[in-house]
Chain A
Amino acid sequence: MKLTVNGTEHEVEVDPNMPLLWVLRDEIGLTGTKYGCGIAQCGACTVHVDGQAVRSCQVAIGDLNGDVTTIEGIGNPETLHAVQESWVEHQVAQCGYCQSGQIMQAASMLEFNPDPSDDVIDAVMSGNLCRCGTYPRIRAAVKTAAAKIREA
C-alpha cells in the first residue's frame, strides 16, 4: 500500500484495517502523532488528510483517500508554523502529549476560518482532550495564531 505523508511517498505492507495512526507511528516512525484513546475521544492523533483535520485512529489505511500531513509536516523547530509559533509564545504545553493534536486541529480550523468566534473556537477545539488543563492558553494561542494568519 502506498501513501503520501508530508510530501513523501511511503510503501507499507500492513493489514488494510490498520488505522493510519499506527502506520504513521510504528511503520513509518513519525511519532509526533500520538495515541491517546483509539476511539476518537481525545484528538491526540489528529492529522490532516488533504488539509482536513481527521482522527488518524479512525482512518483505516485501506480507506485512506488523500495526502497526509502530520505535525512534523506543518513546521519544525527551526521554521515554525504560525500556530506552533503562537503555542510557543503562550507557552501552552505542560506535559505536551496532546499538543500535536491540538495544533493540527487549530491549524485546520484556521485554514478554513481565519477569524473564528469564541464559540467556534470552543466548539471546534472541544474534541481535543488536555488532561493537564491548558485550555485557557489554547484559547489565547488560537487567537494569536488567527491574527498572525490574517496578517500574513
Chain B
Amino acid sequence: MGIVSSITRRTFLIGSSAIAGGVAFGIFAARQEPENPLVATLEEGEATFNPWVLIDSEKVTLIAPHGDKGQGVLSTQAALIAEEMDLDWGDFDVSFGEPSGAYWNRGFAEEGVPFMSTDDSRMAETMRGIVGGITKLAQVQGTGGSTSMPDSYVKLREAGAMARETLKAAASAKTGVPVSDLKTEIGKVILPDGSELKYTDLAADAADITPIKDTPLRDPSEWKYLGKPMERLDIVAKSTGTMMYGADLSVDGMKFATVCVNPRQGGEMLGFDATAAEALPGVEKVFPITNGVAAVASNTWYAIQAVRAVEFDWGPAPYPAEQDAHWTALENSFGEENLDSEWRNDGDVTTVEGEKVEAEYRSPYVAHAPLEPMNAIVKVTDDGVEIWTGHQMPIFLTQQVAAVAGIEPEQVTFHNQFMGGSFGHRLEFEHIKQAVEVAMEMKGTPVKMTYSREEDFAHDFPRHISMGRCTGVHADGKVVGLDVAVSSPSVLASQGGRLGQGLPGPDSQIAAGAWNNPYGFDNYRMRAYRAPELAPVSSWRAVGANGAGFIFDTILDETIHAAGADPLEERIRLMDHEPSRIALETVGEMSSWGGELAPNQGRGVAYVESFGVPTAQVVQVTNDDGFIKIDKVWIALDVGRVLDPVNFENLVQGGVVFGLGHAMNSEITYSDGMALQTNYHAHEAMRLYQTPEIFVRGLENQPKMRGVGEPPVPVAAPSLGNAIFAATGQRIREMPFNKYVDFV
C-alpha cells in the first residue's frame, strides 16, 4: 500500500529538506497565529495554505499532527481535511509533521478548568477560552485526553475548505472561468465544459494566491466520508507486517542497544561490574548512564543478554519499599491538612436523614504495558540530535532531548512514528533521555535503544493508586445523599515534576469520575485528598476516573441496592443531564434491562462521565459453579458526533476490554522497592477467551465534539462489580477483582 509505506519517507523529507524558496499565505499573520512550519520546507512549485496541507506537482500531503497510538486518528484527521477538500480517499500522503506551535492543542483547555464538562455556562466557556490561550502561547502540541477530534473537528475541515477554495481561485485565474462556475471532486477542479485540472497541476499557480479563508463549512448531510464507514489508511500495512513502528525502523550504520536502570524507580546505581557482560558475543560496549547501564551490540538480543550479565549494586527506592506502606500513606491522607479540594458540597450530606451505607474502596497501580516496548533511534552529531520514535508530546520531547544533549531544541530533529500502543506510557521521557545518553556515548553512530519487556514493566510509571471512603444515605426507597472522599497521590504532580513543572492548584484527576457526574443529588459532597508522592505514576488511559469512577459508582450502587430501588431506574431518576439520561436509557433498551435472567446470572449498570463523554454500560455475568463468566456488555456513549463509525466501534470495544481486563486481573505491587510484576504472565489483563460479546451505540445528543479513546474505560470496573454483586451477593470493593472471585 503506497499511501502508508510512504508516510515514513515523507516524514523524513519534511523534517530534513532544505529551504528552497516558495510561498505561503494564511490566516496566521492576520490572526497572529503561530508560523506555518511547512513554509520553511517549501520547494519551488509547492504550495501550502495552512499547516495541514502541502501540495506539489506530484501529490497532496496532509499533516496529521496528533500522534497515532492505535486509535486511528491519522486516518480521521485526514478524513476531516479530505471531506472539505474533495480528495479521493487514500489518494494522498499523510505525515505526522514536525513539532510546531502551529499544532497547539485546543482540546487541552477542556480538562484544564474546574468546571464540569457538561457545564456550558458563560463562566465555564470563558475559562476554557483563557486556558486555551495559555495552551496556545505555551505551544502545547500533544496527543492525549481524548482531544484529537475536539481539537481537529473544525480546524481541519477549515484547512480543507481553505485549500479547496484557493485551488479553485488558482484554476479561475488560469482559465478565466469564474470561481462560481467551478466544482471540485476527487482531487480535481472541474470546469463547466467537463475538463479537469488536477490539484497537483495547480500547485504552482496556487502558491501565488492569497489563501481564501472563512468559507462556510459543509453541512454534515453533504458529507461523503465523515460519519460513514471508511477504510483506515493504516489497515493494510497493519495486516501485512509492513507497518514500520519505531521499533522496526532502520537507519544507515545503526547499532542496537538496551539499558538496565535501577528497578527501584528513581533510585541510584551505587556500582556495577560489567566484566562478564563485555565478554559476551556481539557486545561492543557496556557503559554507565544515569542510574544504570547501557549495552551497545550488533543485535538487540546481544545487548539484552549483556545487561543481564552485569552485576549491579542498586540504591534504595525514593518511595516506600513495600506495597502495604503505600496503602497506609493513602489511609493516613484523609485529613484536613491533605484536603486537595472540596469539589462538590451540595445540600448537607452530614445532616440528611436516612439509613447509611458506609464502605471503603481501593484501586491499584496498573501498568500501561503497550505491546511495542519503549524504544528510540538516536543519532548525535556536532550539528545536533536526530531522533526517531513514537511519542505523544513532540515539542516537549525536543526540549527534553536538547536538555540531555546540552543543545538548543531547534537543533533536535524529531521524526514521529506510528506507535504500537501507549495508553499513556508514551507521554513519558525517561526512555527518550536514556536513548540520547546512549547515542552521545556513540557519537556519529545511530543507535536503536529498545527496552526489554522486563525493563518496560520496571519503568512503566503505572496508574496511581487511590482509595475511597464513602457514605451513601437512603430514605423511602431512594438515594438522598452521597459523601465521597478519595485519596491518592497526584498523578499530574508526578508527571509534571519529571518535566520540572509544578502543579498550580488542585489535581482534577484525584476527583475525576467522582465529582463531575451530572446527577442532581440534593445532598452530595465530594472531597479529594492528596496523598504524598509514592511510586512515580503517570496518566493511564482515562486517568483519574478509573479509580474515582469505580469508587463513586459503586457506593451509589450499594446505596441503591440498600434502598431497594432498581439500579438503572434510580440512576435515571437522579440524572440531571439530558444526554446522560439518554445514555442510561439507551443501555437499558439495548440490554432489555429488567428482562428474565437465570438464577445464576446478574446484571450491573454503571455511569461515569469521562473526558466530556457521558458513558453508560450494562454488564451481564453468569456465576458458573463459583466461576464468573462475563457474557455480554452493552455500552452507550455520547461523543457529539461519530466521525468514523467502524473505528468508533473498534475503539469502544477495545476500551471495554481494556477496562474489564485490568479490573479483573491486573495490578502492580511493590516489594523491596521493585514492581513484582515483571512481564505479561503476571499482568495479563484480558485474553480472547474472557472477552464477552460487546454491543456499542454511539449517541449524538450533546452539543460538543468529543473523543472516544478514554471514556469507555472507567465504567468497566463498577459495572462489572455491580453485576457480580447482582449474580452472587458478593460486593467487591477492590481491584483487581480476581483477589476475591475466580473468573472463567
Would you call A96 and B234 a contact (CB within 8 A)?
yes
Would you call B301 and A96 a contact (CB within 8 A)?
no
Would you call B300 and A22 a contact (CB within 8 A)?
yes
Given A34-B372, A93-B239, decide whether A27 and B299 contact each other with a Cβ distance below 8 A. Answer: yes
CB nearest to B281 among chain A residues = A15
**Chain B residues positioned under 8 Å from A92 (CB to CB):** 239, 650
Contact flags (1/0) for B226-265 with A, using CB distance below 8 Å? 0000011011111111111101101000001000000000
CB < 8 Å neighbour of B420 from A34, A37, A125, A126: A34
Would you call B243 and A18 a contact (CB within 8 A)?
no
B170 at the interface (CB under 8 A from A): no
**Chain B residues positioned under 8 Å from A95 (CB to CB):** 69-70, 238, 370-372, 418-421
CB < 8 Å neighbour of A134 from B232, B302, B654, B687: B654
Tier of interface size on chain A? 35 or more
CB distance from B683 to the nearest CB of A (A): 10
Stretch at the interface among B30-38, B558-566, B689-697: B689-697
Would you call B235 and A88 a contact (CB within 8 A)?
yes
Given A14-B299, A133-B657, decide whether A126 and B687 contact each other with a Cβ distance below 8 A. Answer: yes
**Chain B residues positioned under 8 Å from A66 (CB to CB):** none
Contact flags (1/0) for A74-97 with B, using CB distance below 8 Å? 011100100010011001111111
- Interface residues in B622-643 (C-beta closer than 8 Å to A): none
Would you call B240 and A80 a contact (CB within 8 A)?
yes
CB < 8 Å neighbour of B372 from A21, A72, A97, A139: A97
Would you call A131 and B452 a contact (CB within 8 A)?
no
A111 at the interface (CB under 8 A from B): no
B450 at the interface (CB under 8 A from A): yes
Would you call A18 and B689 a contact (CB within 8 A)?
no
**Chain A residues positioned under 8 Å from B300 (CB to CB):** 22, 25-26, 35
CB nearest to B300 among chain A residues = A26
Contact flags (1/0) for B354-380 with A, using CB distance below 8 Å? 000000000000000111110000000
Interface of B is mostly: loop
CB < 8 Å neighbour of B371 from A42, A70, A72, A122: A42
Would you call B421 and A97 a contact (CB within 8 A)?
yes
CB distance from B92 to the nearest CB of A (A): 17
CB distance from A76 to the nearest CB of B (A): 6
Given A70-B241, A91-B650, A103-B239, decide whether A135 and B371 contact each other with a Cβ distance below 8 A. Answer: no
Instruction: Please measure, in the bound complex, the distance between the C-alpha atom of A135 and the C-alpha atom of B234, giving whole angstroms.
Output: 18
CB < 8 Å neighbour of A35 from B241, B373, B650: B373
Pick from A26, A130, A131, A133 the residue with the most CB of B within 10 Å. Answer: A133
CB distance from A27 to the nearest CB of B (A): 6
Would you call A97 and B688 a contact (CB within 8 A)?
no
CB < 8 Å neighbour of A33 from B232, B241, B250, B298: B241
Q: Nearest 10 pairs between A and B by C-beta?
A: A32-B241, A133-B657, A95-B70, A96-B238, A97-B420, A71-B241, A133-B654, A31-B248, A94-B70, A22-B301
Chain A residues near B (Cβ < 8 Å): 14-15, 18-19, 21-22, 25-27, 29, 31-39, 41-42, 44, 70-72, 75-77, 80, 84, 87-88, 91-100, 103, 121-123, 125-139
Sample of 17 A–B contacts (CB below 8 Å): A14-B299, A15-B282, A35-B247, A37-B680, A38-B304, A38-B452, A41-B679, A87-B239, A91-B646, A94-B72, A96-B234, A97-B371, A98-B371, A127-B687, A129-B687, A131-B369, A131-B371
